[in-house]
Amino acid sequence: MWYSREDRSAPVFTAAQHIESRHSAGEQYRLPALCILFYMGGVIAPLLEQGAVCVTEKLPRFLGGTPVYQLPDAPVCFLDGGRGAPQAADTLETLYALGVRQVLTAGMCGAFSEQAEVGDRILPDKAFIEEGTSLHYAEPRLFSTPSGTFLEKVRRWFPEGKCLPVVSTDAVFRQTYEKEALWRRRGAVGVDMETSALFTVAEYLGVEIAAVLTVSDKHPEAPGGKSWHWGMTAQMRRGFAEHCAALMREISMEK
């Protein structure tokens, strides 16, 4: 049974209840309202080198804890959001219970369109739903969307960014040629595993959200063409992390 308007019963347990449970550390604290959720490795260390501090060693999410950090000069927290739609939703629900209200999700996507190349920044204006988590938060629909006003702010900070649709999937090794051709016909240019779920859950919770994705790899569009290749570098990760931090630092000054 997916999401149903007729089901008005409460969840068996909530993120807030889990935080206070024996399964969690039981640590009591609040987080800043602004947050960067990273869905890629190699981005935390560069910000720690710039003086970021650890807020807690273990975010009390259900699917495995992770450290939460804060920028040294702004009320902005950041962390590794996990991998895949279920953990992304778990993380966002937990952050909401701890006070987070505006989230920039920063990750990677694989490009399967001529409109996107390795190193490009994609600012999704919609994310086609091919993961199952969204179906527990909203009635079935083709795509989910970010918060429009927040997306416009992100676009100003990433003027080279391409505001184009992506798709989020649960199955890394089931991105077939036929499936990606269908995604192209719908206008999508890249694929990840979290964005559509994050947009859906954020809407459900009333959290402002936008995403920026760096193209990490390029997919061949047909058998016999250029083979799949990975192009993400440590330098690209560092620059991406610093740019995201600068954006959220400026937004914090508007509050």
Q: What mean pLDDT is predicted for residues 166-187?
A: 96
Domain ranges of the chain: 25-254
With 0-12 CB in 10 A as exposed, 13-18 as middle and 19+ as buried, what is 65?
Answer: middle
Please state which CATH class domain 25-254 belongs to. alpha beta
Phi-psi region of 195 (alpha: psi -120 to 50; beta: other; left: phi over 0): alpha
Tokens 């206070």, located at residue: 20
- Span 36-58, average pLDDT: 96
User: Does the pTM exceed 0.75?
Assistant: yes
Quick one: pLDDT at residue 25? 65
pLDDT, tens only, 107-136: 999 999 999 999 999 999 999 999 999 999
